[in-house]
Structure 1
Amino acid sequence: MKHFTKTVAQLNALADDGIVPGINYLLFQGQESIWETRGFAQTWPVPEILTPDMQYDLASLTKVLGTVPVIMMLVQEGKIAIDDPVQKYLPEFGDARPTIRHLLTHTSGISGYIPHRDQLSPQELKRAFLSQQRVDSSFNRQIRYADVNFLYLGWIIEAVCRQPVQTVITERVLRPLGLAGATFHPAADRCVPTEIQPGRGLIRGSVHDPKAFILGAHCGCAGLFASMEDLEQFSHALIETNLAGLLTSKTVDCLFRDQTPLSGPHSRSFGWKLLHSRAADRHLLISHTGFTGTWMILDRQTDQGMIVLTNRVHPTAKNQAYLDRRDHIFASYLAEMQTA
């Protein structure tokens, strides 16, 4: 196993320098790994030591661990097609142009302001997203990451499966993979706290994202909690066994290729962001981040990965230093993957 000296030092410094309260990280190559837990689960109202088995609010990692696999299974089963229009499944949406591909690659151009969004009921919020969002000039022209794409994907899953999207993810992904700590309904005392917010106080065991908090089981963009062990198991399954056979090899191949409808090469596959390896062949890796302080990078070709879990939004989400350091850690990891 490569030592990843610079990467490990930078990861440790996130906690040691107080950029995040605590950190769980895993770097693996095949069955060898470097796994570390350090720092605090919370610093307020009283310090609490972080332990390796605690569950994190994964935020947008929910998209690629849950929603993307379900969508790809439905494609494999012929129940949906990648280039089907969104309107086929969500007729309330007023534009016939965006497709499931556009949603998966964040090229849909769907955007818009919803007044008093966080005060709406679940039904009102869904209705607002479907009726008040518009397709702007970025449609089919540029990648613009937005949660709304995965809210729509979640509702498409619901239209096909006739169950809440989070129930479908649980039954079709989490349980078959045996991810014992992955859940949309965690016990608060097992969870790493996130932000302290007016009105909600210290958020612990409840999803941080305000849309997911309102929509509950009907949210496909956030809401999943899991431990490092769960993410390790998912990662090995995805790049080694086609998600334990839930997906075909051809489907997983698609996750490691540019899937945007745009001309020329771009950095998005189905749900995942693409990174170039520093190897001579410049093969593609997949990655994703979560707002709460989580990220994954997976290399199927060399059977390697980096998984990092922090609660960088505790006690406050105003944490630019974390974002700056994360970029440097990504660069260090990609460079060290190619050394001895």
Structure 2
Amino acid sequence: MYKKYIDSLIENKELPGAVLYVSRKKQPLCHKAVGSYIGTDEQQFPVTENTLFDVASLTKVIATLPASLLLLSKGDLHLEDPVQHYLPEFKHAAVTVEDLLSHRSGLPADLPFVARDGQRDVMAVIYQTELQQAPGKTVAYSDLGMILLGKIMEKIAGQPLDVYTSEQIFTPWGLHNTRFNLPANLKALSASTEKVGTRFVQGEVHDEKAFHLGGVSGSAGLFSTAEDVARFATHFLYPEEQDVIPPDLMRMATRHRQSNRGFGFEVWNGEGDPLSCGQSWSIGSFGHTGFTGTSVWVDPQEELIVAFLTNAVHYGRSTNIRTIRKTLHTMIYSSIQEEIS
């Protein structure tokens, strides 16, 4: 049922291309690639199982969150520390590392739009950005908080975020197709995102802030495959089966804290508007989404993982991806329940 739904999305031009990876109890149930995209050379290319996608805000949980947890485990990072302890240029003394991780910093979601070909010192602007509410109180999703967290990682590690995460997280976790700043030979294997000016953006980060930061950011910039994203999720579903980060810290990140949030992840607690996994998924399910059309969801009760990578913005930024995600994940969950019964 859900496989036919994916096909219909391509046929109806709701999505240009997508790769869906579904596993349950460590057994792959689906690895399906559909659709195509137009490259920078105006040629059309099919999406394959190995196509790389700009995963956008999945960067927050695939790169920045694990790096934070690893540095926490080493005692190099402390949740209660003020951001100013690591980044003295940041103007708000009351905002802590924990506020950044739980999206309770009080910072706005985004910066005013500046086009890719514009000039902007992103960090200088963030350091001076005013808070919209008192820190530590209200959950309000913020790219800026995760960008700050990425810079804190770099300060502590003494390495750029892309180097640190590649060496300390991605390689030991087996995420061999996950990286920032694709080299030229891999750019051609990535699904292009949006048309900017006369050409499609292919193999370069779609997010303008991450682009102005040189392609490496705590908020966006990562490229990956559906299989790699599912492998990442497997480590959080079975944290005791990896030895990079202490399992108790990984479980802490996926526990509900406030307003359907944990650390980094969204966590469904059954209250409020359903998350992008839909309302049928078990309480305690956790995941994240990305603006380009990407998402990953984990249901610990069902031992279910769904990685869904698309380049929805290929057709422009007004996409129906939020409705599509809920429909797809509800269909997948229903099919699992039918098999059980």
Q: Counterpart of 1:248? A: 246
Q: Counterpart of 1:38? A: 34
Q: Counterpart of 2:307? A: 307
Shift of 1:62: 0.7
How many Å separate the matches in 1 of 2:114 and 2:279?
A: 48
Shift of 1:43: 8.2
Contact 2:181 2:215 survives alignment (8 Å): no
Shift of 1:281: 11
**Length-normalised TM-score, structure 2:** 0.87
Shift of 1:303: 2.0
**TM-superposition CA deviations, 1:135-176 (whole Å, max 9, x none):** 222633322111101100001111111111222111111121
Q: Give the CA RMSD over aligned residues.
A: 2.6
Contact 1:155 1:218 survives alignment (8 Å): no
For structure 1, the residue ranges without an aligned partner over 5 or more in a row are 261-265
How many Å separate the matches in 1 of 2:330 and 2:134?
A: 29
Shift of 1:15: 1.8
Q: Counterpart of 1:12? A: 7
Q: Counterpart of 1:263? A: none
Does structure 1 residue 22 correspond to structure 2 residue 22?
no
How many Å separate the matches in 2 of 1:192 and 1:117?
A: 21
**TM-superposition CA deviations, 1:15-60 (whole Å, max 9, x none):** 2321111111011102232121111133883432211111000101
In 2 relative to 1, CA 207–116 (structure 1 residues): closer, same or farther, beyond 3 Å? closer
Percent identical among aligned pairs is 26
Shift of 1:287: 1.0
One-letter code aligned to 2:192: P
How many Å separate the matches in 1 of 2:208 and 2:172?
A: 29
How many Å separate the matches in 2 of 1:313 and 1:99?
A: 34
Q: How does 1:98-109 map to 2 (within 5 A)?
A: 98-109=95-106
**TM-superposition CA deviations, 1:182-233 (whole Å, max 9, x none):** 111322111111100127x210011101011110255111111111221232
Q: How does 1:1-340 map to 2 (within 5 A)?
A: 5=1, 7-29=2-24, 30-42=26-38, 45-111=42-108, 119-121=118-120, 124-131=121-128, 133-137=129-133, 139-186=135-182, 187-198=186-197, 201-216=199-214, 218-242=216-240, 244-260=242-258, 266-276=259-269, 283-319=283-319, 321-339=320-338, 340=340
Contact 2:60 2:220 survives alignment (8 Å): yes
* Bigger mean CA offset, 240-249 vs 180-189: 240-249
Where 1:25 maps in the other structure, the secondary structure is: strand
In 2 relative to 1, CA 49–251 (structure 1 residues): closer, same or farther, beyond 3 Å? same
One-letter code aligned to 1:69: P
How many Å separate the matches in 2 of 1:326 and 1:38?
A: 16
How many Å separate the matches in 1 of 2:100 and 2:263?
A: 9
Contact 1:26 1:34 survives alignment (8 Å): yes
One-letter code aligned to 2:205: V
Where 2:22 maps in the other structure, the secondary structure is: strand
Aligned residues: 325
How many Å separate the matches in 2 of 1:281 and 1:227?
A: 24
How many Å separate the matches in 1 of 2:130 and 2:248?
A: 34
**TM-superposition CA deviations, 1:276-314 (whole Å, max 9, x none):** 489999540111001111101012343211110111010
For structure 2, the residue ranges without an aligned partner over 5 or more in a row are 271-277
Where 2:33 maps in the other structure, the secondary structure is: strand
In 2 relative to 1, CA 92–288 (structure 1 residues): closer, same or farther, beyond 3 Å? same
**TM-superposition CA deviations, 1:59-109 (whole Å, max 9, x none):** 011110010000001111111111211111111111111111111111111
Shift of 1:128: 1.5
Shift of 1:243: 6.8
How many Å separate the matches in 2 of 1:251 and 1:126?
A: 29
Shift of 1:336: 4.7
* Bigger mean CA offset, 324-333 vs 143-152: 324-333
Where 1:313 maps in the other structure, the secondary structure is: helix
Shift of 1:235: 2.1
Contact 1:43 1:315 survives alignment (8 Å): no
Where 1:176 maps in the other structure, the secondary structure is: helix
One-letter code aligned to 1:236: T
In 2 relative to 1, CA 79–66 (structure 1 residues): closer, same or farther, beyond 3 Å? same
How many Å separate the matches in 2 of 1:281 and 1:18?
A: 27
How many Å separate the matches in 1 of 2:329 and 2:134?
A: 28
Contact 2:63 2:165 survives alignment (8 Å): yes
How many Å separate the matches in 1 of 2:247 and 2:279?
A: 23
**Length-normalised TM-score, structure 1:** 0.87
How many Å separate the matches in 2 of 1:229 and 1:56?
A: 11
Contact 1:234 1:243 survives alignment (8 Å): no
* Bigger mean CA offset, 218-227 vs 177-186: 177-186
In 2 relative to 1, CA 141–279 (structure 1 residues): closer, same or farther, beyond 3 Å? closer
How many Å separate the matches in 1 of 2:70 and 2:23?
A: 27
